[in-house]
Amino acid sequence: MLTIFLSRLLRMVIVMLGISVITFLIFFATPGSDPAARIAGRNAAPETIAAVRHDFGLDRPLYVQYGLMMDRLFITRDLTSFANRGQKIVPTIMSAAPATLSLVAGAAILWMALGATTGIIAAAFRNRLPDKILMGASMMAVAMPVFWVGEMINLVTQSRLHDTWAFSWVPPLGYVPLTSDPAGWFFALVFPWICLALMYIGLYGRMLRTGIIETYQEDYIRTARSKGLSARRVLLKHATRTAIIPIVIMFGMDFGVLVGGAAVLTEVVFGINGVGRLTYQALKALDLPMIMATVLYASFFVVVANAIVDVLCVMIDPRMRQK
Amino acid sequence: MTSVSTDKLPPSPIGEGVSAPDGPWKRLLAGLLSSPTAVLSGIGLILILIAVLLAPLYANHVAHTDPFRSGLSAKIEVEGKTVPVMQRSTEGLGLGVTPIGPTWSGEYMLGADTQGRDVMARMLYGGRSSLLIAAASTVLTLALAAIIGVAAGYTGGLVDGVLSNLIDMMWAFPVYLLAISLSIVMIGKTFVLGPIELSSSSLIIPITIIGLVYVPYVARPVRGRVMTIKNSEFVLAARGLGVRRHRILMRHILPNVLSTLIVFAPMLTALNIVTESALSFLSVGVQAPNASWGTILQDGQSLLYSRPTVALAPGIAIMVTVLLLNLFGDVLRDVLDPKSARGR
């Protein structure tokens, strides 16, 4: 067990190293684009570009540039934005993280609960009306762009029906920190949670349904039924337990990706000042170091989430220990 | 190559009482035609395609407008009265203008955007860009994933080690953030790479970006498929007979990989439509003067509370197209991969 854990840790570090190199190369060595000119912003004077080039060490060899950048990101943590002068990048990202975490964690609880319910009910009523309705709704949920759903939610709750009894409690767009006002935090996040969770409910529901139906072909299910266990017990205790493993793996990936900033669209539509919106604003200001830092932060989150999921799977499923 | 006579082979195992048409393509077509879902969604997709291809006809003969030029001072006739397209606001201080809402007739059927342009005409032109980008980037993804997946799976050893690890690393990047990173280095000024010069409004930029980001997601299953086929009995038999490597690759491996790629095509196209709209919404996708469903959605955001049709229309267009593609893709997968349909 310990060796599995340690080898996974080592692999995680190697992957992170590789990711940092790839990210660095995308931003600073893409052929045909001059990073100094990008950092300096639109219509910058040649002197400014030269100053940027010297400041970021872009006149040195590539591996020195890489070393300098990693040093300023992870060791001294004093990388500053050029577009927003004086703004330190690492602390800015850290202060945006709680908003993103609040959004994603709440949505995750919602989508895991409703996704599992959808999948189990659909599998139990396979090819009958409840199954067809649920799968049709899931397909719709997967087909809608998340930011469009957000816009439509805003249209109804903030404008068209805001003055009616149904939605008058919806606070204006934005994020309220949990520590300052727990109730305000909750109410402000209700619709962002629903918006973000919708697609995943559809996705996970469909996946779980397929998984359960496939496990029903296995011999141990037949054995369980012939032992005289009730259909309900076999569905919930035997089939679902096996079918949920790929869902757990996918959940780890999705959660990591979203906390890392893939919730950018939801954050932008609902005005939540998280990591994703930070990336969006950096994008508008062409703040290259900030974007690079958020992308790195995001991918590290995914790598850590994957490693945790792998270790969890080994703990849940003894079959994986053999490898 | 001697031809093998088929009459000595046992009957086809595809189904009892069903005479299987000869050839995999005919079988595929027959499978699709026997499913009402596939036929209806296919017809729907063809209708959408025809509609967007007729965009110039609509703009010239029905809407009488150039959807790429702003029409801030344009006037149109509605129910016998001449009204300006950009209407003076009646609320608040009466400052500012609001574009005209849906007229539900030929001109400005879905209203105008902030530039006074006909939204319906832009929807059709935008649909062209959206569908073109989605289809082209799907082809790019499938081609690259096939090359990488086959190279890694068939060669094995060091090549496989390097490529698989690279795929794993790319997998860790959130797709949208990777796309944002790529677009910010490619969009902005003219992108110059040797003899290639791309202006920032070129559709090739979003096609390349969207095509690249999904490669790992297809390359990994392709690699797995190649490894399975490589060790299957019929390939081992061919090798035992002394068939050369590249012949095994062309005759045995590639045709079998092709079905995996075909299954991915509609789902990937659907995913690409959504990705394009998301990138355009974040202003790193399709650039002006081009339109796409994503850019119209972005135009609609500032008009959301006053003229919701501008945001509503492209969202519905995306949803319907993606839904049809996914429905079609589901049937396609079941026809090509009977194992996945087993439990149904």
Of A33, A127, A265, the CB nearest to B278: A265
SS3 assignment, position A73: helix
A109/A63 same-domain check:
no
pLDDT given for residue A205 in this prediction: 92
A80/A39 same-domain check:
yes
Buried b (16+ CB within 10 A) or exposed e, B131-167: bbbbbbbbebbbebbbebbbbbbbeeeeebeebbebb
pLDDT for B9 beyond 50 = no
Mean pLDDT along residues B122-144? 92
Q: How confident is the model at residue B326 (pLDDT cuts 50, 70, 90)?
A: very high
Give the separation between CA A66 and CA B299, rounded to whole angstroms.
Answer: 39
Q: Look at B297 and A145 and tell me if their CB atoms are within 8 Å.
A: yes
A178/A226 same-domain check:
yes
- Closest CA of chain A from B1, distance in Å: 41
- Total domain count for chain A? 2
Q: Look at B176 and A27 and tell me if their CB atoms are within 8 Å.
A: no
- Closest CA of chain A from B323, distance in Å: 6
A106/A178 same-domain check:
yes
Give the separation between CA A150 and CA B315, rounded to whole angstroms.
Answer: 11
Domain coverage including residue A10: 2-89
Average pLDDT, chain B: 79
The end-to-end CA distance of chain A, in Å, is 11
State which of A89, A123, A157 marks the end of a domain: A89
Give the separation between CA B340 and CA B344, rounded to whole angstroms.
Answer: 9
In a domain, B86, yes or no: no
Contacts of A139 in chain B (CB under 8 A): 323, 326-327
A182/A229 same-domain check:
yes
Q: Which residue out of B40, B41, B184, B320 would a mutagenesis test of the A interface target, given it has the greatest number of A Cβ atoms within 10 Å? A: B184
State which of A89, A124, A146 marks the end of a domain: A89
Of B176, B182, B270, the CB nearest to A26: B182
- ipTM above 0.85? no
A143/A203 same-domain check:
yes
- Closest CA of chain A from B197, distance in Å: 9
pLDDT given for residue B140 in this prediction: 95
Q: What's the CATH code of the domain at B302?
A: 1.10.3720.10
In a domain, B6, yes or no: no
Using CA coordinates, name the residue in chain A closest to B296. A148
A80/A104 same-domain check:
no
DSSP B82: E
Q: Say yes or no: A283 contacts chain B, CB-CB below 8 A.
A: yes
Range with the poorest average pLDDT among A205-209, A235-239, B290-294, B325-329:
A235-239
In a domain, B67, yes or no: no
- The residue that leads in pLDDT, B33 or B103, is B33
SS3 assignment, position A254: helix
A72/A201 same-domain check:
no
pLDDT given for residue A54 in this prediction: 77
Question: DSSP of B192-244, one letter per residue?
Answer: EETTEEE-TT-THHHHHHHHHHTHHHHHHHHHHHHHHHHTSHHHHHHHHTT--
Region of B222 (left: φ > 0; alpha: ψ -120 to 50; beta: rest) is alpha
Mean pLDDT along residues B246-270? 88
Give the separation between CA B132 and CA A9, rounded to whole angstroms.
Answer: 43
Q: Look at B305 and A155 and tell me if their CB atoms are within 8 Å.
A: yes
Mean pLDDT along residues B217-242? 87
Contacts of A137 in chain B (CB under 8 A): none
In a domain, B330, yes or no: yes
* Bridge partners for B77 per DSSP: B82
Q: What's the CATH code of the domain at A175?
A: 1.10.3720.10
Within a 13 Å sphere around the CA of B157, how many CA atoms are in the beta-carbon half?
2
- Cβ contact B328:B41 at 8 Å: yes
**One-letter amino acid of A100:** T
How many CB pairs (< 8 A) connect A and B? 153
A182/A209 same-domain check:
yes
In chain B, % helix, strand, coil (3-state, to 5) comes to 60, 5, 30
Q: If you count them, how many residues does chain A have?
A: 323
Ranges of H-type helices in chain A = 2-28, 35-40, 46-55, 62-70, 89-124, 129-143, 146-154, 182-215, 219-226, 231-233, 240-257, 264-270, 275-284, 288-316
State which of A30, A58, A89 marks the end of a domain: A89
pLDDT given for residue B246 in this prediction: 84
pLDDT given for residue B120 in this prediction: 83
Q: What tens digit of pLDDT does each residue of B41-87 get? A: 999 999 999 988 887 887 777 767 777 766 666 666 666 666 666 66
- If chain A, 323 residues long, is cut into consecutive pieces of 10 residues, what is the mean pLDDT of each piece? 80 85 81 70 74 76 80 77 74 87 92 92 90 91 90 84 76 81 86 92 91 84 82 81 82 83 86 88 82 84 82 73 57
In a domain, B299, yes or no: yes
* Bridge partners for A80 per DSSP: A88
pLDDT given for residue A119 in this prediction: 92
- Torsion, Cα of B36, B37, B40, B46 (10° steps): -130
Q: Say yes or no: A284 contacts chain B, CB-CB below 8 A.
A: yes
Give the separation between CA B146 and CA B153, rounded to whole angstroms.
Answer: 10
Domain coverage including residue B294: 39-57+117-343
Residue whose entry in the numeric block shows the structure tokens 């407008």:
B65
pLDDT given for residue A111 in this prediction: 93
In a domain, B128, yes or no: yes
Mean pLDDT along residues B119-138? 90
In a domain, B68, yes or no: no
Of B174, B270, B326, the CB nearest to A302: B174
Whole-number Cα distances in Å, B37 to B40, B241, B272, B330: 5, 44, 22, 9
A158/A280 same-domain check:
yes
A176/A310 same-domain check:
yes
Structure token digits, residue B235: 């390939």
pLDDT given for residue A281 in this prediction: 86
Q: Say yes or no: A174 contacts chain B, CB-CB below 8 A.
A: no
Q: Which residue out of B175, B181, B330 would a mutagenesis test of the A interface target, given it has the greatest number of A Cβ atoms within 10 Å? A: B181
In a domain, B225, yes or no: yes
pTM score of the predicted model = 0.84
Report the DSSP pairing between strands B196-198 and B191-193.
antiparallel
Q: Say yes or no: A200 contacts chain B, CB-CB below 8 A.
A: no
CB contact residues (below 8 A), chain A span 11-40, against chain B: 15, 18-19, 22-23, 26-27, 30-33, 35, 37-38
**One-letter amino acid of B24:** P
Using CA coordinates, name the residue in chain B closest to A279. B177
Q: Say yes or no: A10 contacts chain B, CB-CB below 8 A.
A: no
pLDDT given for residue B188 in this prediction: 58
Mean pLDDT along residues B104-117? 71
- Cβ contact B55:B64 at 8 Å: no
- Cβ contact B165:A6 at 8 Å: no
CB-based contacts of A293, cutoff 8 Å, min separation 6: A73, A79, A89, A90, A93
A68/A147 same-domain check:
no
Q: Look at B174 and A210 and tell me if their CB atoms are within 8 Å.
A: no
Contacts of B315 in chain A (CB under 8 A): 144-145, 148, 151-152
Nearest Cα neighbor of A37 from B341, B185, B27 is B185
Of A26, A151, A216, the CB nearest to B185: A26
- Total domain count for chain B? 1
